[in-house]
Structure 1
Amino acid sequence: MLASISGLGAFLAYFATAAVLVAIYLVIYLLATAHDELALIRRGVTAAAIALGGSLIAFTLPLAVAIYNAQGLLDCAVWGLVALIVQMGVYWAVRATLPEMSRQIEAGESAPAVFLAAASLAAGVINAAAMTY
């Protein structure tokens, strides 16, 4: 039984590190967007949920790889921050490409939200693969 839970401390440390990184990501992402995703999601605007959900999954993909490959908690945190920077870059690139994106998402238009989610996921997959060093 004790052998089964011998890694519990490391699990908790990496899980807590990841949870903090996800929280930091969400705060930064929610502050960066020109629309209030959480308020829109509470009102049932699916487009906001698609955009935010896709971005969150896209951030956690490379974060999972960073945990898997990490040489320690600091290494994990550094690569988690790299994933955050990549995802914010994707958001700003899509926003520059679709300057009306926030207004469209607020209006419940799905096309820009799906494109943002797809671009975020594409970058997240590539980012995760690049972290397999």
Structure 2
Amino acid sequence: METPDILIAIGNFALYFGISLVFLMLFKFVYTIVTPHDEWTLIKDQQNVAASIGFGGAIIGFAIALASAASNSVSLLDFATWGVIALIAQCLAFAVIRFIFMPKIVERIEQNEISAGVVLGATSIAIGLLNAACMSY
């Protein structure tokens, strides 16, 4: 007896969605290592809006690229490869902002300077959009 197509589709959805959630958790872990400030402490303990905006933008940017990877991939390995590339791109975006455009971004985020959080968040989303658009064959 052959498996109905809908069951195969649901299985594929569950697999890709589950891997996406693992990637999001991995991104949260890696991104907080790359940034010299502790986003979770700033957000949870100090209610730092700038850190929330910056970190939120990074998560959204990564999720946009990850969504594109899921829709354009031809296999799970392909999806995982593009997911790693998306993660690297988001970390590089932070590095470019920190070392080139706004060398004091860390201090400004720690001081809850909203404008710094907006720039970081917007840049992270922009990188995610560009990354997603470039994931094509």
Tell me, which stretches of 5 or more residues in structure 1 are unaligned?
Answer: none
Q: 2:57 pairs with 51, 54, 57, which one?
A: 54
How many correspondences in the alignment? 132
TM-superposed CA distance for 1:25, in Å, is 1.1
Aligned to 1:75: 78
Q: CA RMSD in A?
A: 1.3
Q: Find 1:122's aligned residue among 121, 126, 129.
A: 126
Unaligned runs of 5+ in 2: none
Find the residue that maps to 2:47 and give its secondary structure.
Answer: coil
Query: Which ranges of 4 or more aligned residues in structure 1 deviate by more than 6 Å?
Result: none
- How much identity, in percent, do the aligned residues show? 37
Residue of structure 2 equivalent to 1:16: 18
Report the TM-score, using the length of structure 1 for normalisation. 0.93
Give 1:32's aligned residue: 34
**C-alpha distance in 2 between matches for 1:6 and 1:99:** 49
Separation (CA, whole Å) in 2 of partners of 1:123 and 1:100: 20
